[in-house]
Structure 1
Amino acid sequence: MLRSMTAFASAEADTGHGTLAIELRSVNHRYLEFGLRLPEELRSLEAVVRERVAARLSRGKVDLGMRFKAAVADASAIKVDEALVTRLADTAQSLAARFPQLNVDFTSLLGWPGVLLDRDTDQEFLRDAALKLLDDALDDMVATRAREGERLGGFMRERLDGMERIVADVRTFLPEIRAALRARFDAKLAELKMPLEPGRIEQEVVLQVQRIDVDEELDRLTAHIAEARRIFGLKEAVGRRLDFLMQEFNREANTLGSKSADSRTTNAAVELKVLIEQMREQVQNLE
């Protein structure tokens, strides 16, 4: 399956206790690299969140941020974490001598993470809601990656078609190149003043033809094109497979150029390398 590694997804939900929001961003990366930011109320979910992301995405640098904004509640629904307040007070008192100007107002104290506790917040319910929201965001991201991957796939299929046309063109004028090589060889022999054995002449012609023979390279290119099209239809992430295949494409194009005995095969090798490089750049975006 062709899926891009570049995507963005977001989701938001009202839980009754407050608003949960999540954002997912991913860009190209050789492996799966995951950055995570969770609100204090959901820190315990870190391992589960990482597992769920890894189960859906195999490559890319992924950043996930989740926010929770508690609903405004009346005084009877709120309590203070007395133990935490005591620790904060002890810390402030121990630092008072070193920082005479230290001043903590009541509002700032209540804003310290964990000081205010919502009695009615069901932590299990909140965690379930967060994981449901995560699944929704992941669904969106996977769908976005698939759409972008299909767009890249169309681009790469056009390049494969172009390579196939070039290979077919080279096959059509190879006999002409071989005939021209034989004619040049015969012309040079005619300039010689000494007689040569006919068998030796034929042997030399065969050697010269073998040096420029690119049938094997053309066959491999044709096989690689077919393999790329097969890979496009797989139901798994295919970025690494295609990345390796691009190296094989490039190797055959280089050999075709090195064996060239005619400007047409030289130009064909150059055009192939241009198309291969364009494909390689797009393959780098695939999961």
Structure 2
Amino acid sequence: MTGFASAKGALGAYGWAWDLRSVNGKGLDLRLRVPDWLDGLEGALRTELSKSVTRGNITLSLRIGRDETAGTLTLNTATMGVVLDALHELETEALARGMTLAPTTAGELLALRGMLEPGTGAEDTAPLVARLIAEFPALVADFVAMRREEGAALSNILTEQLAQVETLTARAAELAEARKAASAEALKTNLARVLDSAGGADPDRVAQELALLAVKADVTEEIDRLGAHVRAARGLLRDGGAVGRKLDFLMQEFNREANTLCSKSQSSELTAVGLELKAIIDQMREQVQNVE
């Protein structure tokens, strides 16, 4: 099932952007692209995400940037030494020439390029990881909400398609009932023809074979099973939850019964109904691939 959610956040010198999306998939495939320098983050996000989704190819991306100007600054002692030595030499030379220089303030010295630089010490990333983990459930909630909206639309589509299957199944039952008299008459005619042309044939044996053919042509069980599958599919849609795999299996059963109905139809009208059933069932199978 497709879905999408995004969010942004910030903490201190760090800013980040989330991107969570999914496409259809038979199983659950989680692909997380998060910074590997944040210890424990990927495992926590994977666990949280697995609680809310059970199907689909899901990709999570987290991009983090750092504002270097917002971090701590340290004094570059090497640069400071060079500047102070130069300042001392300048003042000494000025005095030798009878000149007096204005006092230099610490602020003026610190403003010189290279005197201050971003801190290079190891930084504790635990607060950042904790903040990211804390805000992740809200992103997942938005993601799941979008998938639920799509799921509601899919439920309406499948419900309508099930109604079409039910209507066609009822039509198949009517046609099957209407052909019984014709089938019985055809069997009697065939039995008489066989007995006339096969002088030594055992009438009971021939009758058994014809009866077997009649049983093989009966589509009552297929029609009954189609009705049962419609009821089962409606029950799954009504109950909700992660029913995609169950519906996928039901679609296979629907297709099997429709194929058998066509092969046993012995009637152009019944065959036409069977083909319509197969077309609707194929459409349902495509939609079910989108269901979690």
Give the TM-score of the pair, scaled to structure 2.
Answer: 0.74
Distance in 2, matches of 1:61 and 1:141, equals 13
Report the 3-state secondary structure (helix = DSSP H, G, I; strand = E; otherwise coil) of the residue aligned with 1:233: helix
Distance in 2, matches of 1:35 and 1:192, equals 69
Distance in 2, matches of 1:42 and 1:252, equals 54
Q: State the 1:64 CA deviation.
A: 0.8
Matched, 1:244 2:252: no
Q: Any residues of structure 2 matched to 1:99-138 within 5 Å, and which?
A: 123-138=125-140
Q: Any residues of structure 2 matched to 1:52-71 within 5 Å, and which?
A: 52-71=48-67
For residue 125 of structure 2, what is the amino acid of its counterpart?
Q
Partner of 2:222: 217
Residue correspondences, number:
249
For residue 27 of structure 1, what is the amino acid of its counterpart?
V
Q: Is the 8 A contact 1:11 1:136 kept in 2?
A: no
Q: Is the 8 A contact 2:28 2:57 kept in 1?
A: yes
Q: State the 1:49 CA deviation.
A: 1.0
**Which deviates more from structure 2 when the two are superposed, residues 226-235 or residues 237-246?**
226-235
From 12, 17, 30, the counterpart of 2:26:
30
In structure 2, the CA distance between the partners of 1:264 and 1:47, relative to structure 1 (3 Å rule), is: same
Distance in 2, matches of 1:53 and 1:175, equals 53
In structure 2, the CA distance between the partners of 1:184 and 1:243, relative to structure 1 (3 Å rule), is: same
Matched, 1:46 2:48: no
In structure 2, the CA distance between the partners of 1:37 and 1:192, relative to structure 1 (3 Å rule), is: closer
Q: State the percentage of identical aligned residues.
A: 38
In structure 2, the CA distance between the partners of 1:175 and 1:201, relative to structure 1 (3 Å rule), is: farther
Matched, 1:155 2:157: yes
Q: State the 1:117 CA deviation.
A: 5.5
Report the 3-state secondary structure (helix = DSSP H, G, I; strand = E; otherwise coil) of the residue aligned with 1:36: strand
Query: Can you list the C-alpha shifts for 1:202-229, whole angstroms capped at 9, x where unaligned?
Result: 7566444322211111111111111111
Distance in 1, matches of 2:149 and 2:48, equals 21
Partner of 2:181: 179
Matched, 1:144 2:146: yes
Q: Is the 8 A contact 1:20 1:130 kept in 2?
A: no
Q: Which has the greater radius of gyration?
A: 2
Q: Is the 8 A contact 2:12 2:70 kept in 1?
A: no
Q: Is the 8 A contact 2:222 2:257 kept in 1?
A: yes
Q: State the 1:129 CA deviation.
A: 2.2
For residue 280 of structure 2, what is the amino acid of its counterpart?
L
Q: State the 1:253 CA deviation.
A: 0.8
Partner of 1:91: none
In structure 2, the CA distance between the partners of 1:194 and 1:127, relative to structure 1 (3 Å rule), is: closer
Matched, 1:276 2:278: no
Query: Can you list the C-alpha shifts for 1:124-162, whole angstroms capped at 9, x where unaligned?
Result: 432232123321111011111111111111111111100
In structure 2, the CA distance between the partners of 1:79 and 1:260, relative to structure 1 (3 Å rule), is: farther
**Which deviates more from structure 2 when the two are superposed, residues 126-135 or residues 238-247?**
126-135
Distance in 1, matches of 2:243 and 2:177, equals 38
Matched, 1:6 2:6: no
Structure 2: which 5+ residue stretches go unaligned?
Answer: 76-116
Q: State the 1:30 CA deviation.
A: 2.4
For residue 221 of structure 1, what is the amino acid of its counterpart?
L
Distance in 2, matches of 1:47 and 1:178, equals 65
Distance in 1, matches of 2:193 and 2:210, equals 16
Distance in 2, matches of 1:64 and 1:189, equals 70
Query: Can you list the C-alpha shifts for 1:44-77, whole angstroms capped at 9, x where unaligned?
Result: 31111111111211121111111223346457x2
Larger RCO (CA under 8 A, 6+ residues apart)? 1
**Which deviates more from structure 2 when the two are superposed, residues 15-24 or residues 256-265?**
15-24
Matched, 1:258 2:263: yes
For residue 141 of structure 1, what is the amino acid of its counterpart?
F
Q: State the 1:11 CA deviation.
A: 1.1
Partner of 2:168: 166
Report the 3-state secondary structure (helix = DSSP H, G, I; strand = E; otherwise coil) of the residue aligned with 2:132: helix
